[in-house]
Homo-oligomer: A and B are copies of this chain.
Amino acid sequence: MFYLLDLAGVAVFAVSGALAAMHSGLDLLGVVVLASITAIGGGTLRDLLLNRHPIFWMEDPWPLYVILGAALLTVGYVQVLPIPFKALLIADALGLALFAMSGAQLAERTGHRALVVVLMGTLTGVGGGLLRDVFTAKVPLILRQDIYASAAIAGVALYLLLQRIGVPRAVAFGVSLVGIAALRLAAVAWGLELPRFTPP
């Protein structure tokens, strides 16, 4: 379950990274590099912080194969079909939800406190996109105006809360996963924003 979730997250984030790279006019290897950074950046930061070695993509060849495949398929797709305008945002929302929940479960299994579970889930979810944005010299999406990291935080908190009130883990997991993706997509669709407190 963990494993397939991670691979699915890797795939959608690789697509997201590859689309962003092509959008910035990078060359073929730049596309693969940015797809990789986006896809394994969050999980790598999580593993470094939780001291889990070897890093998840070092022993298991699949994440890297999935990235290569997803990046090349994305490149090929874009050559023959018009780019789906919303594809980047949707792939990003799905990757966010998958990675946040997978990271949260990992931290939960290693016995960390609720606050650390929320942080690790959020970091796993937003880390790759954050590195993608830093490496293309943009202010990261997670710090911009709309709901992004907050969707992950709310989702993981919901996951922990549902379990505490007796909801079975698998149900809590599914609800939270869908919740994060839905919240993120709703924020994109209707331009939802958190309040801001700009000093006068």
Which of A48, A57, A136: most chain B Cβ within 10 A?
A48
- B-facing mask of A123-157, CB < 8 A → 1, else 0? 00000001000111111101111100110010000
Q: How far is the CA of A8 from the CA of B151 in the complex (A)?
A: 30
Q: Are B27 and A200 in contact (CB under 8 A)?
A: no
Contact A193 to B149, CB < 8 A, known contacts A51-B53, A113-B61: no
The residue in chain B whose Cβ has the minimal distance to the Cβ of A198 is B25
Contact of A64 among B61, B75, B115 (CB under 8 A): B115
**Are A44 and B54 closer than 8 Å at their CB atoms?**
no
Is A199 at the interface (CB under 8 A from chain B)? yes
Closest residue of chain B to A113 (Cβ to Cβ) is B61
Of the candidates B64, B139, B193, B197, the one whose C-beta lies within 8 Å of that of A136 is B139
A150-B49 in contact given A134-B135, A140-B135, A197-B22 (Cβ < 8 Å): no
The reply on A168 being an interface residue by CB < 8 A is no
Determine whether the beta carbon of B78 is less than 8 Å from that of A28: no
Stoichiometry, as copies per complex, reads 3
Whether A143 contacts B149 by the Cβ 8 Å rule is: no
Q: Considering only CB atoms, which chain B residue lies closest to A65 in the complex?
A: B115
Q: How far is the CA of A136 from the CA of B130 in the complex (A)?
A: 11
Interface positions, chain A 58-86, Cβ under 8 Å from B, are 58, 61, 64, 75, 78-79, 82-83
A101 within 8 A of B: no
The answer to whether B79 touches A197 (Cβ under 8 A) is yes
- 6 A-B pairs closest in CB distance: A27-B194, A51-B53, A29-B150, A83-B199, A137-B139, A78-B199
A-B contact pairs, 27 of them (CB 8 A): A19-B199, A21-B143, A22-B199, A25-B196, A26-B196, A27-B146, A28-B195, A29-B153, A29-B194, A30-B144, A30-B194, A31-B197, A33-B142, A33-B149, A34-B143, A44-B49, A48-B48, A48-B49, A49-B55, A49-B58, A58-B112, A58-B116, A64-B119, A78-B197, A130-B135, A135-B139, A137-B137
